[in-house]
Structure 1
């Protein structure tokens, strides 16, 4: 669809004092879906878990589609 872009994002999670998964940092944007998967995979070995996702965006009208998880490993929480 014209004007539609796809962005790839990833984030790692740590566990808080109550065992809940909390983001280790704000979600980061990757150049490609493959880069997001590789980054999340590496982070999952260093943190409680990690997730990578893609979503479509339409910048001209400021809309974003629902996230589509492309990688998930370990203990993850809310990433939206």
Structure 2
């Protein structure tokens, strides 16, 4: 996308009393892919699952691309 920028996000999941995945905290934005993956690996020891994804957006024209998963471990739920 012309004029687009990339955002990278991290989200961890825990399991509720019925074994369903629930977000462990609000979505966190990361500085770059390396920092996001490092954080996700650390979180993976404390949570049922972690996902890192990136998304391109072009706010000038109101477009937002589809999420692209760049790292995933364990059991994750809906993050989009």
- TM-score tier, shorter chain, comes to over 0.9
Cα distance in 2 for residues equivalent to 1:2 and 1:61: 10
What residue in structure 2 maps to residue 27 of structure 1?
A: 27
Mapping of residues 1-80 of structure 1, within 5 Å: 1-80=1-80
* Distance of 2:64 and 2:34 partners within structure 1: 20
Runs of 4+ residues deviating >2 angstroms: none
Aligned length: 80
TM-score normalised by the chain length of structure 1: 0.93
RMSD of Structure 2 on Structure 1 (CA)? 1.0
Unaligned runs of 5+ in 1: none
Give, in whole Å, the separation in 1 of the partners of 2:36 and 2:62.
23
Q: Distance in 1 between matches of 2:72 and 2:64?
A: 21
Normalising by structure 2, what TM-score?
0.93
Deviation at 1:50, TM superposition (A): 0.3
